[in-house]
Amino acid sequence: MGVWGFVLHLLNFVAPAVAVAGLLSAAVVGPRGLALWGPRARRWARVWAVLAAVGVAVLLAGLVLHGRDGKMSTYAALVLATGSVAAWWRGRR
């Protein structure tokens, strides 16, 4: 596998975590947080980064546990973990 193939595999591996983090961070911060600059935009980016990191950690744990990626139990754990962190973050405001 070449470098380009590795990059594509890596992007496809983290895509579910990044997508779920984007949707949940929009729900945590609110629609006005999607501005291009300002404190809400920085807050949205911070929430997104934390949720994406949690999601990638869950996907890596699923890869190690199952020996392969793409298992539905891993995706269910991804949704539960990122949803729990998002609910905690939303509740502490």
Name the band, by pLDDT with cuts 50, 70 and 90, for residue 33: low
Instruction: Kindly tell me the burial class for residue 14, based on how many C-beta atoms sit within 10 Å of its own C-beta (0-12, 13-18, 19 or more).
Output: middle
- Residue 56, Cβ density class (10 Å: 0-12 exposed, 13-18 middle, ≥19 buried): middle
pLDDT in tens, 38-86: 676 777 788 889 999 999 999 999 999 888 887 888 999 999 999 999 9
55 Cβ contact list (under 8 Å, min separation 6) = 14, 16, 17, 18, 20, 21, 78, 81, 82
